[in-house]
Amino acid sequence: MSTSDALIVNKTAVPKEFNKIARRYDMATGLSQGYQADLHRSAAYLNLKGHEQVLDLCCGTGKSTLAVLPFITTGKVTGVDNSEEMLQVAREKFATEISSGMLTLELQDAMQLTFAEGSFDAIFMAYGLRNMPDYDRCLAQLYTKLKPGGRLVIHDYSLADGWFAKPYWWVLGNVFIVPISYLTTGEANIFNYLIKSVQNFLTPKVLEAKMAATGFKQVSSHAQPTWRAPILRTFVGVK
């Protein structure tokens, strides 16, 4: 079994693979046209007023954090990730926001969050749910961490129904993403896993149904623009 296949089977090992590329992660994702703009577009669906307590789950090096912070004035963002090295990069990038109290960063397993029920007005989860070993249990946990009326926004690859998205993703992944990322970071395992994890992930309709079954209301999904439309979506649900 290849390393990437082993990661599909045992997703608890994924954070350790991210540790290996933490210092080069921003460079690799920076080569993806629209990467940061997509995150900002999804963060806008949180409908923040500025005073909220926001959980930025699976924050990594803080690219999702960067998308959320402009919407916060008197509130606070709590960034959580299970990769020590990715969090260290984020701590260095956001030293000012951390010292001001606007941001805290914590090492936690997203499947076993230690926050009390009803702790957050909003949860932003970018490129995270796909890496969880149990989607239903993760969604149920996030539901409990939200206050009534709180919003969950999931930003992730989700291949559209129909014949086109899967071969399109295969070409993007194997011809462009993996080779370029390997040249940038010197690692291939985590990016091969990325391609396979997207292929195995929920379609938009199935993820919407799971969110609704968890109890979320006003569930909707929104395709990202241009060439990402068949593969990248923003999912929104309200408690």
Nearest Cα to Cα of residue 237 among 45, 38, 44, 70: 45
Sheet holding 53-57, edge to edge: 103-107, 76-81, 53-57, 120-126, 146-157, 232-238, 217-223
Distances (CA, A) of 213 to 2, 58, 207, 220: 35, 23, 10, 13
Stretches in the chain below the pLDDT threshold 50: none
What confidence score (pLDDT) does residue 3 get? 77
Q: Do 53 and 119 touch, CB atoms closer than 8 A?
A: yes
Contacts of 221-226 with CB under 8 Å at 24 or more apart are 221/158, 222/45, 223/160, 224/34, 224/38, 224/41, 224/42, 225/34, 226/34
- β-partners of residue 81 are 107
| Predicted model pTM | 0.96
The structural domain count of the chain equals 1
CATH number of the domain that residue 18 is part of: 3.40.50.150
Q: 201 lies in which domain range?
A: 3-238
